[in-house]
Amino acid sequence: MIVVRFTEDLAIFEDWLRELIQMHFSPSWEHYPLNISTHVQTPYGRECDLIISNKKGTSVLCELKDWTVKDTLQQVIVRRPCFDFAYAVINQPTYQILNMLRKMGKERLERILSLGIGIISSRDNVILVRSYRIKKHAKELIPIIGEILKSELESDS
């Protein structure tokens, strides 16, 4: 069950979320059901705004922010090792996000992209950069997915 606790949570009801799910979870029924959880604590004490996961252990992180690109990307970098795919979701127009990325500098932008981090404009419903899987993250992912599935099973009973 999704509980909207902060205004940034409203971003998950836009078209970009459906597109993201279709991109990372094939239309095949083997990927479903999906668990969509907000404000999940990782085993490392970090809170994640939105996590989409399935029974096969595939997970997508979305850090949601209303305004800042730099801070959002920093949060995603820190949490990235725990997820298959990771996105910074910023509620700003595409042109403004691109301008902020340009101001960060080439080296920092290359580092972000090399980590497989995706970037989304929730205001324009545009996935600017698609996240990609980095194999070395898989081991750190298992405790988070297990905790999400456990809490979902407890809430069903």
Instruction: Over range 60-88, report the average pLDDT.
Output: 91
34 by DSSP, 3-state: which? strand
Between residues 140 and 113, which one has the greater pLDDT? 113
2 belongs to a structural domain: no
Examine residue 56 and state whether it is found in any structural domain, yes or no: yes
CA 84 – CA 133 distance, rounded (Å)? 5
Model-level pTM? 0.78
d(CA 9, CA 114): 27
Tell me the CA distances in angstroms from 149 to 25, 54, 57, one per residue in order: 17, 9, 10
Secondary structure of residue 79 in the 3-state scheme: helix
Residue 146 pLDDT level (bands cut at 50, 70, 90): low
Quick check: 144 pLDDT over 70?
no
Given a cut of 90, whether residue 97 has pLDDT beyond it is yes
Does residue 121 form part of some domain?
yes
Inside any domain, residue 66: yes
Q: What is the pLDDT of residue 138?
A: 47
Domain of residue 17, CATH code: 3.40.1350
Question: Is 35 within the bounds of a domain?
Answer: yes
Q: How many domains does the chain have?
A: 1
Q: Would you place residue 1 in the very low, low, confident or very high pLDDT band (cuts 50, 70, 90)?
A: very low
Q: Is the pLDDT of residue 150 over 60?
A: no
Q: Which domain holds residue 54?
A: 7-156
In a domain, 1, yes or no: no
